[in-house]
Amino acid sequence: MCLYIKEDTKFKIAEEDIPCWKLLEFCYDCFHNKYVCYTPYAHFPIINHNIEADNNIKYDSKTSITLGVIHCYINEKDAKQTTLYHLPNAFLFKAIIPKGTKYIEGSDKKNSYYNNNYGAKCIKIIDSRFIKWMKTNELLQFYTEIKI
């Protein structure tokens, strides 16, 4: 998924932890007999609650970042309206952009009139539902708890 930015937008450094929301998808890996988690669209595998982007940031144009940042939402409402209802295996989790992390504000829609997304070099999932899944890998047991 692209992060659209205004041409004059610059990266910032988080002066404190910044709350955000991360959308993740789950599927069952029958070869390894467990659930796996990945980012929608890019299908980047998630192996723990700290998600780090590749070092190189790739711009598709002066106003579109396609690689090198972890896409997340500024607020829960926009995250739900934008994609959650279109992705049946997607779940929304509370996260933070940790203090000291490089990030940029943008939108998931081209020419958007406001910024509803972040692109960060690192985010940390802090949602207890995700932490529980990481420990147990028992998604079906608490599916109703985790689905928003």
Dihedral of the alpha carbons of 65, 52, 107, 143, in degrees to the nearest 10:
140
Domain count, the chain: 1
pLDDT at 148: 47
Domain of 16, in residue numbers: 3-146
- State the 10-residue block means of pLDDT for the chain, 148 residues long: 80 96 85 82 84 84 82 86 69 94 86 76 92 74 49
The pLDDT, as a whole number, for residue 142 is 46
- What the block records as the tokens of 25 is 């998808």
Structure tokens at 44: 């980047």
Q: Helix, strand, or coil here: 139?
A: coil
Place of tokens 């690192």: 122
65-87 pLDDT, tens digit per residue, is 877 899 899 988 888 776 656 67
